[in-house]
Amino acid sequence: KKREYEKEIKKLENFNMINDLNMDIPLTIVKSYFYFKKNKKKIAIEILNNYELVNTIDDLRTKIYFLSIRMEISDFDVKNDLILSLDKMCRSYEKSKSERNGKKINLELLSKASFNLGKAFLRIGDLKKSNFWLLKNYEINKRLQHYVKLIPTLELLKANFERMGLRKKSNYYKNLENFYVDFLNSL
């Protein structure tokens, strides 16, 4: 059934305003993704930029999420300083959460950020940092049992190690990818 998502997003925004709910960030993300999926990347980026201009984002998790989405929408065609900024934020987030025993790390957030960082570093040609983040993504998704998300990560790892001339590691990740594909097909 074809639905008019623009009208539904507008209804959600009105509901949010009338009931004074704190759904601004989720609605911004949904609107941005909506335009991204309609191949209107410029509008999707503008929605994120406008939100950040009007609202200050103090929460590190939200900053990481916004940067990750911006990189995805831009198809990883971003400046190096943006990639390094996300890299620094993710490391800072992990460090701050590991220092506070009572706080748990949001693994879903780190999964998204680490995969996007892996792809971004691959795009700029830094294979070592790309592999670092992709391996981190692999471990996170394995721990979360997100096996479907492992396949694209393993494909990138396989290609990275092959480009680095490490054929054994490349074959290892190829076999691992085949294992997960077979496993998912058997379900």
User: What pLDDT digit, counting tens, does each position of 3-61 carry?
Assistant: 677 777 777 777 766 776 667 777 888 888 888 888 889 999 998 888 888 887 888 88
- In the chain, what percentage of residues exceed pLDDT 70? 93
Per-residue pLDDT for 2 more than 60?
Answer: no
Whole-model pTM?
0.81
Residue 19 contacts residue 11 (beta carbons within 8 Å): no
54 burial via Cβ count (<10 Å: 0-12, 13-18, 19+): exposed
Per-residue pLDDT at 126 exceeds 60: yes
Contact 44, 35 (CB under 8 A): yes
Q: 3-class DSSP state for residue 87?
A: helix
Q: Does residue 179 have a pLDDT over 80?
A: yes
